[in-house]
Amino acid sequence: MSLPLEGYRIVDLSRLAPGPFCTMVLADLGADVLRVEEPGGGRRARAEREYLEGQDPRELRRQFAFNAVHRGKRSIALNLKHPAAQRILHRLVERADVFVEGFRPGVVKRLGCDYETLRAINPRLIYCSISGYGQDGPYAGLVGHDINYISIAGALGMLGPKGGPPTIPYNFLADYAGGGLLAALSIVVALLHRERTGQGQYIDIAMTDGVLYLMAQAAVEFFLQGRVPRPGEMRLNGGAPYYNVYQCKDGRYISIGCNEPWFWENLCRALGREDFIPHQHNREKYPEIFSAFRQVFLTRTRDEWWEYLRSYGDIAVAPVYSLDEVVNDPQVRHRRMVVEAGEVEGETVRQVGIGPKFSATPGRIGSLGAVTGQHTDQVLAELGYTPQQIADLRQQGAIE
């Protein structure tokens, strides 16, 4: 059974979270993804692997095999500061459909792989740059990470308890959603456009833009009424008792999402507080409701509340899981969102499964993550390099 992106070739020059996640999505859906990496994995990778010095080299294979964002991809190690390595990259681009990079603006030009250079080689190429602030504007050259991008976009300022400091989320918002996932969608749209017109194009993904894009609905109240969203004050970020988390008897938490009045009514009845039903949106009543709910939820454990409330009927409720609980949840397992992806050194590798479910062309995990340069010789042979030429390139320091 063919996959949706089977036959498309992706050259991936990205390094950190957003780019590799983007190309993981494309690989899961059938694209042939080639990671172009710096020999040794680059300065950051070498620094992060210092703790492995003197240990069994098989541990390195485990690190890559368990890293889901590397799955389904091959790896070639090119020293792009070397002219011969740049020529190899150009040959790869000749037959590629997509090129992905995640450097700060200007770096790819120094490496001989900016859009203008590669477009001259392959006019049909879809070229996607993923950066923190985009390719232009006063912040374009600034360094940053997820926490910085969600700060500029306004998301971090909306997260946390009322009157308290911002609550730092894991790096899902900018790196994975506003960056990698939006890039994957944009690439597929560009490929669709190319199928219709034959035209390649350049895609400029700024993670800050992506986060603000995700906040389209959150910004409505500000644009409509001029009200600035504050942490712990909005109905969806902790300001309302009907959409909140409550600590239970065992110290764990239950989440309540009863936005609809009929869900709210059911919740109040289940908790024995029918008197709160008319006050779902009465802010003056919120301190009393919060106090009562916090006390009642402390009377049972989280799982006892989960069983009771979900069986009561039409109450939006769920336990707040830690990751070790997530992987054993029956719904997560039924949806195959935790899978056995293969084996490395005799050990079963578990990974997160594939998100989108297609009826005719379901995705698949093609292979475990390859160590840096694992497929260098194979890829060069496919380009027509002889074993002697490959040996010469390795001796020159152009490849690893």
Q: Specify whether the CB–CB gap between 99 and 128 falls below 8 A.
A: yes
In a domain? residue 2: no
Do 184 and 313 reside in the same domain of the chain?
no
SS3 per-residue string spanning 136-160 = CCCCCCCCCCHHHHHHHCCCHHHCC
Mean pLDDT along residues 119-131: 98
The reported pLDDT for the residue numbered 186 is 98
pLDDT band at 51 (very low <50, low <70, confident <90, very high): very low
Domain annotation covers residue 200: yes
Residue 173 CA to residue 179 CA, distance in Å, equals 8
| Residue 152 shares a structural domain with residue 34 | yes
Indicate the residue among 326, 348, 383 that finishes a domain: 326
Catalytic residue status for 114 = no
User: What do you get for the CA distance between the two ends of the chain, in Å?
Assistant: 35
Query: What is the C-alpha separation between 371 and 347, in angstroms, rounded?
Result: 17
Question: Among 326, 359, 381, where does a domain finish?
Answer: 326
Residue 267 and residue 177 share a domain: no
Rounded to the nearest angstrom, the gap between the alpha carbon of residue 294 and the centroid of all alpha carbons in its chain is: 34
The answer to whether residues 95 and 149 belong to one domain is: yes
Helix, strand, coil percentages for the chain (3-state, nearest 5): 45, 15, 40
241 pLDDT exceeds 80? yes
Q: Residue 71: which of 8, 42, 28 has the closest Cα?
A: 28
For the stretch 293-341, pLDDT in tens is 999 999 999 999 999 999 998 999 999 999 999 999 999 999 999 999 9
Annotated catalytic residue, options 82, 145, 193, 279: 145
Query: Taking each helix axis from N to C terminus, what angle separates 302-312 and 261-270, rounded to the nearest 10 degrees?
Result: 120
Of 103 and 45, the structure prediction assigns the larger pLDDT to 103
- Position 58 scores a pLDDT of 80
Say whether both 191 and 263 belong to one domain: no
Closest by Cα among 210, 16, 188 to 102: 16
CATH of the domain at 46: 3.40.50.10540
Domain count, the chain: 2
Claim to verify: residue 311 and residue 355 sit in the same structural domain? no
Average pLDDT over residues 30-47: 80
For residues 203 and 277, membership in a common domain is answered with no
For 230-241, letters b (16+ CB in 10 Å) and e give ebbbbbebbbbb
Task: Please say if the pLDDT value at position 54 is more than 90.
Answer: no
Same domain assignment for residues 259 and 357: no
CATH number, domain with residue 273: 3.30.1540.10
> Of 32, 175, 209, 375, which is the active-site residue?
175
- pLDDT tens for each residue of 203-240: 999 999 999 999 999 899 899 989 898 889 888 899 99
- Of 326, 361, 379, which residue sits at a domain end? 326
Q: Of 66, 59, 60, 72, whose CA–CA distance to 348 is shortest?
A: 66
- The pLDDT value given to residue 41: 63
- Token couple for 319: 């336990």
pLDDT at residue 255 greater than cutoff 90: yes
Backbone φ, ψ for residue 191 (5° rounding)? -65, -40
Q: For 340-377, what is each residue's pLDDT tens digit? A: 999 998 999 999 999 999 888 889 999 999 999 999 99
| Res 53: pLDDT | 55
What is residue 60's predicted lDDT score, i.e. its pLDDT?
Answer: 82
235 part of a folded domain: no
Let me know if residue 220 belongs to a domain. no
Cβ proximity of 64 and 41 under 8 Å? no
- Catalytic residue at 136? no
**Position 224 in a domain:** no
User: Which residues form the domain of 56?
Assistant: 9-214+339-396
Q: Which residues pair with 247 in a beta bridge?
A: 253
Residues paired with 257 in a beta bridge: 243
Q: Is the domain of 320 the same as that of 346? A: no
Strands 9-12 and 32-37, sheet pairing: parallel
Q: If you ran DSSP here, which 8-state letter would residue 114 be given?
A: -
- Residues 147 and 286 occupy one common structural domain: no
Could you say which DSSP state residue 242 is in?
T
Measured CA to CA, the distance from residue 399 to residue 86 in angstroms comes to: 10
DSSP secondary structure string for all residues of 356-382: ---SSS------PPPPTTTTHHHHHHH
Residue 281 backbone dihedrals phi, psi, to 5 degrees: -115, 20
Q: Is the pLDDT of residue 390 over 60?
A: yes
- Give the three-state DSSP class for 26: helix
Q: Is residue 18 part of a domain?
A: yes
Mean pLDDT, all residues of the chain: 93
My answer on whether 65 and 152 are in the same domain is yes
Kindly state whether residue 180 falls inside one of the protein's structural domains: yes
Is the Cβ–Cβ distance between 31 and 10 less than 8 Å? Answer: yes
30 and 72 together in one domain: yes
Task: Answer whether residue 3 is part of any domain.
Answer: no
Q: What is the pLDDT of residues 132-186, one digit of tens each?
A: 999 999 999 999 999 999 999 999 999 999 999 999 999 999 999 999 999 999 9
Q: What is the pLDDT of residue 154?
A: 94
